[in-house]
Chain A
Amino acid sequence: GDSVTQMEGPVTLSEEAFLTINCTYTATGYPSLFWYVQYPGEGLQLLLKATKADDKGSNKGFEATYRKETTSFHLEKGSVQVSDSAVYFCALWFSGGYNKLIFGAGTRLAVHP
């Protein structure tokens, strides 16, 4: 079935370090891909998305490129801040299937000063 696999956390970085959180997916069609972020004590919120192959989503310094050939949507940021500490969820959706978001397990990021 359709699924999303994320790298296990926690990911611990120092401020200004480079961030990569890996995400790969399995889907029978051509899904749209999303990154959601959950700050402590809050609900999830959309960070960025890409709807077709080679699209790059970006927001708040974060980027992710939809790679159809490797079925991946890795999240990157060039210089993380303490305020980026949160749990990051990769998700997929496509209209030909279940018409609902399928989330990965989430990756916790902790950034230290």
Chain B
Amino acid sequence: DAGVIQSPRHEVTEMGQEVTLRCKPISGHNSLFWYRQTMMRGLELLIYFNNNVPIDDSGMPEDRFSAKMPNASFSTLKIQPSEPRDSAVYFCASSFRVAGEENEQFFGPGTRLTVL
């Protein structure tokens, strides 16, 4: 298995532009997570999906952020409009979740976003 795939690996954009980050989870996994990592705030959970349904989006910073999971093999995180404070590494992770158990989350390599 190729693991969790994220694209692009690096993104540099200007303030005000729309940014779309993409994630392909491991085949067979039913849970998908989007995290953001910065030096100041550490690792933050933005949103997670179970069986393609958003379960908890309380970590999404504001309305400029949106996430979708149209099918079991693809998810996007969109920022519109982007701001310099959105600069961070964004990780996607997936797992196979069984009720009552927390199984290992497999992380992708991350997308390093720089907003100028």
Contact = CB atoms under 8 A, between A and B. Distances in A.
Interface of A: 32, 34, 41-46, 49, 89, 93, 95, 98-101, 103, 105-106
Contact of A101 (B42, B45, B55, B100): B45
Contacts, number: 44
Contacts of B101: 95
Interface residues of B, number: 21
Contacts of A98: 56
B96 interface: no
19 contacts: A41-B109, A43-B107, A43-B108, A43-B109, A43-B110, A44-B43, A44-B91, A44-B93, A44-B105, A44-B107, A45-B106, A45-B107, A89-B43, A93-B102, A95-B102, A99-B55, A100-B45, A101-B102, A106-B43
Contacts of B106: 45
Interface string B50-74: 0000011000000000000000000
B1 interface: no
A65 to B, nearest CB: 19
